[in-house]
Structure 1
Amino acid sequence: MSNFKITDIVGVIPALITPFDENENFDEGRMRNVVDFLIEEGVHGFYLTGSTGEGFLMTPDERKKVVKVVVDQVNGRVPVIAHIGAISTKISIDLAKDAYETGVDAISSVPPFYWKFKDNNIFKYYEDLSGSTPLPMIVYNVPLAGLFGFDFIKRLSTIENVKGIKYTAYTHQDIHKAKAQIGKDFMVYSGADEMAVSGLFNEADGIIGSFYSMLADVYVDIYNNIKAGEFSKAQIKQKIAVDIIEASLKYDYYAVIKAAMKWMGFDGGYVRRPFNNLSSCEEEKVKDEFRKIRDRYGVEDIRVLKSI
């Protein structure tokens, strides 16, 4: 069963990639290596099988397998949040129950999407999921699935077991408002990688993001800098991260993250179609852009920039 309370889940939490092999099969060995690498880099937890983990490109059984492998490899060292979202409430409940039995510390879900569901449909979806296990539920406010207004976030917070939100929106005043109006123990995780500093300034308990698998050292430094009151240091690291992210977004950025992990010696494997892996030519172009960023800032202490 779970090892951590929801209030223990703080800090830098990578939205974990899922390594696939050349034939698009889940690669357990690579997954275990990635987990150990990121824990050694100082991350404070993991968020599994979400968008970054290509969860919607996997079958439910594949998603369950990923959760089992990661929980086993983590072995209680850091908290694990399993994303169990699907359009179907029935599928999500099945994933939630399996994640609970596997031993995750919390579950999370995007709202049901594709059809334009009414607020009452979405509320009932979270109510059903939250009642399916004793685990805390972290709702997910993300543009891809449709953003919630603050009043609806407050309404969702009234559901038993809804204990927090992954807030991937840019209205960061709502992070502060959630802590002030819902309660200090309602956990808020800033989900915009480019705005980690802003999220933490606005009282986010932690940051969850795609690029933390590739830039774990940068974001751990940002988190520690903010906690130590070293705001100018955090701001510089954030600027470097933004430049790296913008260079990566010219391609299928999950492929860039996985390629960059390979350069660092911790192979992230391949993406699953319809995403495209980087060609050798594209890899060299990305490296060239990263070198320009390294030279522009004169940095020598960021792992991915040292690896090229």
Structure 2
Amino acid sequence: MRLAKFQGIIPAFYACYDDQGNISESRTKDLCDYLLEKEVQGVYVGGSSGECIYQNLDERKAVLSYVANRLQGKMTLIAHVGAPSTRDSIELAKHAATLGYDALSAIPPIYFKLPDSAVYKYWSEIIDATPLDFIIYNIPQTTGYSLTPALFEKLLANEKVIGVKNSSMPTIDIERFKRVGGDDVVVFNGPDEQFVAGRIMGADAGIGGTYAAMPELFLQANRFVQQGKFEEAKRIQSDINDIIIALCSQNGSMYAVIKEVLKRRGVNVGSVRAPLEGISEEDASRIDDIVILIDQAIQRNA
């Protein structure tokens, strides 16, 4: 029962800015309400999609507070607290704990190439700072560090470690992590392009950066997997991948494009923070085509 709340589709929450590029409480609440209406199972706050590395501690704390005030008790809340220093990570972790988050998560330390011993100590000190459950975040393509099954097993000795958000591309990593943890851990599929493959290979749920752009598709794909309708699940994954390619093929950042898609849906969460690039005039003229692509896929797979 303890892990039941961590199943299903959990969108990575986007950074919500006002027109001057500052954190917006009202726009954060609007995105909360939108995702609540879509009936996703939870949100992952303050990660890559939340542009965490471009925000200071006060901004990150504010976002955690705004989301908790709107969604606590209504869906599962996971706070990503990874930061350049252990001290900052612990400060964020303690803040999330006071807000009633269900679990914490963190990427490994970034910039310096550290040995497993230092990475283990970093995660362990965050875990020990609060009573909350903890989810390791493995994303080697951005951090330069790859979690090994051996270190994962060592971390699982702490009963507060309940799983891993695995964003490495090889699906074998999902299978290996699930084999280490078994039914006592939750393995989250990270790469949206392989959601169905990840679920079939052992992922229990998903956390993804494009989920909020098309929650209906990921919710349906998850239902198909649960029902053993793998051909239908493969078909919807193909549609999802077409959309992801379109989102990533513009001049601006994928997140800027997604935010423009949401704006066309009536949810204005602003743009992205530099050095991420906003959409270009050329991008703006193609956003409608992406919205149509999403709508057609939703209708086709309903």
What's the CA shift string for 1:220-257, capped at 9, x where partnerless? 11111111122222111111111111111123001011
- Are 2:223 and 1:227 equivalent residues in the alignment? no
Measured in 2, the distance between the counterparts of 1:300 and 1:150 equals 37
Letter in 2 for 1:176: E
Letter in 2 for 1:67: L
Shift of 1:155: 2.2
TM-score, normalised to structure 1's length? 0.91
Partner of 1:287: 288
Given candidates 94, 98, 103, the residue that maps to 1:97 is 94
Letter in 1 for 2:193: E
- Are 2:60 and 1:69 equivalent residues in the alignment? no
Shift of 1:300: 5.9
Are the structure 2 counterparts of residues 302 and 35 from structure 1 closer, same or farther at C-alpha, using a change threshold of 3 Å? farther
Are the structure 2 counterparts of residues 94 and 273 from structure 1 closer, same or farther at C-alpha, using a change threshold of 3 Å? same
Partner of 1:261: 262
Partner of 1:200: 199
Measured in 2, the distance between the counterparts of 1:273 and 1:227 equals 40
Measured in 2, the distance between the counterparts of 1:117 and 1:161 equals 24
Measured in 2, the distance between the counterparts of 1:249 and 1:44 equals 26
Measured in 1, the distance between the counterparts of 2:213 and 2:300 equals 10
Given candidates 135, 138, 142, the residue that maps to 1:138 is 135
How many positions carry a matched residue from both structures? Answer: 297
Partner of 1:306: none
Measured in 2, the distance between the counterparts of 1:302 and 1:100 equals 42
CA contact (8 A) 1:217 1:302 kept: no
CA RMSD in angstroms, aligned pairs only: 1.9
Are the structure 2 counterparts of residues 131 and 269 from structure 1 closer, same or farther at C-alpha, using a change threshold of 3 Å? same
Given candidates 6, 20, 24, the residue that maps to 1:23 is 20
Shift of 1:149: 2.2
Shift of 1:174: 3.1
What's the CA shift string for 1:73-112, capped at 9, x where partnerless? 1131111000000121011001000100011000000000
Measured in 2, the distance between the counterparts of 1:30 and 1:42 equals 19
Identity across matched positions, percent = 33
Partner of 1:126: 123
- Are 2:271 and 1:301 equivalent residues in the alignment? no
Partner of 1:173: 172
What's the CA shift string for 1:112-149, capped at 9, x where partnerless? 01000111000000110110001011011102112222
Given candidates 23, 36, 43, the residue that maps to 2:40 is 43
Measured in 2, the distance between the counterparts of 1:73 and 1:289 equals 29
Q: Which runs of 5+ in 1 are unaligned?
A: 304-308
Measured in 1, the distance between the counterparts of 2:45 and 2:297 equals 31
Q: Which runs of 5+ in 2 are unaligned?
A: none
SS for the counterpart of 2:15 is coil
Letter in 2 for 1:188: V
Partner of 2:188: 189
Partner of 2:272: 271
Are the structure 2 counterparts of residues 200 and 73 from structure 1 closer, same or farther at C-alpha, using a change threshold of 3 Å? same
Shift of 1:302: 7.5
Partner of 2:53: 56
